[in-house]
Amino acid sequence: MEGVTGLLSLEGSNVLIEYSSIDHPERAFASILKEWRKRGVKPLIVDISDTLHIFVQNLNFAGVELAIGDIPVIKVKGTAKVGNVLGTVGVVEDFDYHLAIYSRIARTVPEDSRKHTIVLGMDKFPFQFMDEPSKLERYFETITRRYLYVKDKTSLLFLNVDVASEYLQKGLEQDSDYVIRVRNGGLAIIKYPKETRGVDNEVY
């Protein structure tokens, strides 16, 4: 997919990847994984409500095979076992207990997968603290950075903007260094740090 090389140059950043229901984010996802694999990167995937399974199925329907059996996965809800599932966080009603379970699983993430995280299914966010900014910020800080014990961590968060609440979308956009949009078979930058203005940021 056009723009993936540029996207993967954003090391050490929080990147929000937005898409609509008619886009094909799974193609961007596959391109990212394949390019990272070439570079020797094996990311952690946080899979919310079986989104990883849906992405892989859509790729299969398109005739695209994606080797994912060795990729570490932490599941949040859902039942489909795709990738090397380290554990499932099934409790979402109790915020602190949920984070405690997540942190216990996160400590088992292999060292070589701790610097890169992909979060799938942000639009399926099944929690009760959506209207509490401090908890929302704490949650995403926890699942993308805390307990993984690395500096300059790269996090890619996928969000279907047709399904996500406006509050969640705006909150994630505000907390992300970059906002990228899947568009016409490529990736376009929607938001980027002020210090990068003056370079070509329209489309990778």
Kindly state whether residue 102 falls inside one of the protein's structural domains: yes
Kindly state whether residue 115 falls inside one of the protein's structural domains: yes
Kindly state whether residue 201 falls inside one of the protein's structural domains: no
Residue 38 confidence (pLDDT) above 50:
yes
Q: Are the C-beta atoms of residues 191 and 176 closer than 8 Å to each other? A: yes
Kindly state whether residue 146 falls inside one of the protein's structural domains: yes
- HSE of 175, CA atoms in CB hemisphere, 13 A: 18
In this prediction the pTM is: 0.87
Query: Mean pLDDT score of the chain, rounded to an integer?
Result: 84
Closest among 144, 117, 201, 131 to 171, alpha carbons compared: 131
What is the extent of the structural domain holding 114?
4-196
Mean pLDDT (whole number) for 24-47 = 94
Residue 165: predicted pLDDT: 81
Q: What is the CATH number of the domain that holds 63?
A: 3.40.50.11570
Residue 186: predicted pLDDT: 86
Kindly state whether residue 202 falls inside one of the protein's structural domains: no
How far lies 164's CA from each of 46, 67, 204, in Å?
A: 17, 29, 25
Residue 7 confidence (pLDDT) above 90:
no
Kindly state whether residue 203 falls inside one of the protein's structural domains: no
Nearest-angstrom CA–CA distance, 29 and 17: 10
Residue 105 confidence (pLDDT) above 90:
yes
In the block, tokens 């990228």 appear at 180
Q: Between 194 and 38, name the one with better pLDDT.
A: 38
Mean pLDDT (whole number) for 89-106 = 84
Kindly state whether residue 87 falls inside one of the protein's structural domains: yes
- Residue 89: strand pairing partners: 76
Kindly state whether residue 159 falls inside one of the protein's structural domains: yes
Residue 199 confidence (pLDDT) above 50:
no
Neighbours of 202 (CB within 10 A): 6
Number of domains in the chain: 1
Closest among 96, 165, 152 to 125, alpha carbons compared: 165
